[in-house]
Amino acid sequence: MERKAGERKYREVADDLRRRVNAGEFNEGRRKLPSERDLVQEYKATTTSAMTIRQALGVLRDEGLVESRVGSGWYVAEWRPIVRNALERLFPDRWTAARSMWEVDIEGRDMNVEDLRVQFAAAPGEVARALGVGEEEKVWQRNRRYVVDGVPVMRAVSFIPDEYARNTRITEGDTGEGGVYARLREAGHGPVAFQEQVRCRLATAAEVEDLGLANGAPVVEQYRKAMREDGCVVEVARMILDASKFLLVYDFPR
């Protein structure tokens, strides 16, 4: 079915503004975009509606390309994407070379963990099946929100069977240098293989509030299984990423 004319118009404006932003047209000085009134004039061949311009700017805001400053207007976003390279961050030597795998992603930027909750409770059905435990069997769950440069960027929950986490710092607030995978390796259960599923969707109302997102903003949901040499799953992680804050990179070896 053909899109409605109004939707076509704001998409056309968004596509052209995206091109201009990516070309660096507004990078001089304060990195400020023309006012909404001026943009209506610039795109008068496409639309004469200020609402259409706002919708187009909203698209770019949700993509993380521009940001609105109250009383000042629209600017090219200053946020530098977090480059999340799957193979780099899961390389075993990184677990002891850095405080956690996050050090691979943030490259020296300021990172804090907020709202950390460690509990011993039954896992959701899908997670329990992946871990090979009963749906009523309790596992260790580490639920936390990551904040980079003062901005919430991700909510992550890890699930680890008790037999692998017991008597390790995985059951404590601070897992120590190298994080969960380093502790698993010390206990003889270090993961050597991973399977990750990634999908993009709109944020739920709870995720909008948790990560400070705009209504209708996109998120990336990552679901990862970490496995020992014998194929046994030792951890399942579910991560919700603010899609505008990350660049996902996958290097495939020859």
- % the chain with pLDDT above 90: 62
Residue 8: pLDDT band with limits 50, 70, 90: confident
Other C-beta atoms lying within 10 Å of the C-beta of residue 99: 15
180 and 66 share one domain: no
- % the chain with pLDDT above 70: 87
120 and 169 share one domain: yes
Give the pLDDT confidence score for residue 140 in this predicted structure: 98
139 and 169 share one domain: yes
Rg of the chain over all Cα atoms, to the nearest angstrom: 22
Angle at 215 between CA 209 and CA 218, to 5 degrees: 95
User: Residue 62 is part of a domain; what is its CATH number?
Assistant: 1.10.10.10
DSSP β-bridge partners for residue 249: 85
End position of a domain, from candidates 24, 43, 76:
76
Q: How many domains does the chain fold into? A: 2
Give the pLDDT confidence score for residue 178 in this predicted structure: 83
Residue 97: pLDDT band with limits 50, 70, 90: very low
* Span 198-242, pLDDT tens digits: 999 999 999 999 999 988 889 999 999 999 999 999 999 999 999
61 and 21 share one domain: yes
Of the two residues 9 and 252, the one the predictor is more confident about is: 9
Check if the beta carbon of residue 234 is closer than 8 Å to that of residue 226: yes
68 and 144 share one domain: no
pLDDT, averaged across the chain = 87
* Span 98-152, pLDDT tens digits: 445 666 566 667 889 999 999 999 999 999 999 999 989 999 999 999 999 888 9
DSSP state of 245: G
* Span 150-162, pLDDT tens digits: 889 999 999 999 9
Q: Has residue 219 been placed in a domain?
A: yes
Q: Has residue 254 been placed in a domain?
A: no
End position of a domain, from candidates 56, 76, 96:
76
Which among 96, 113, 94, 115 is positioned nearest to 105, based on CA atoms? Answer: 94
171 and 241 share one domain: yes
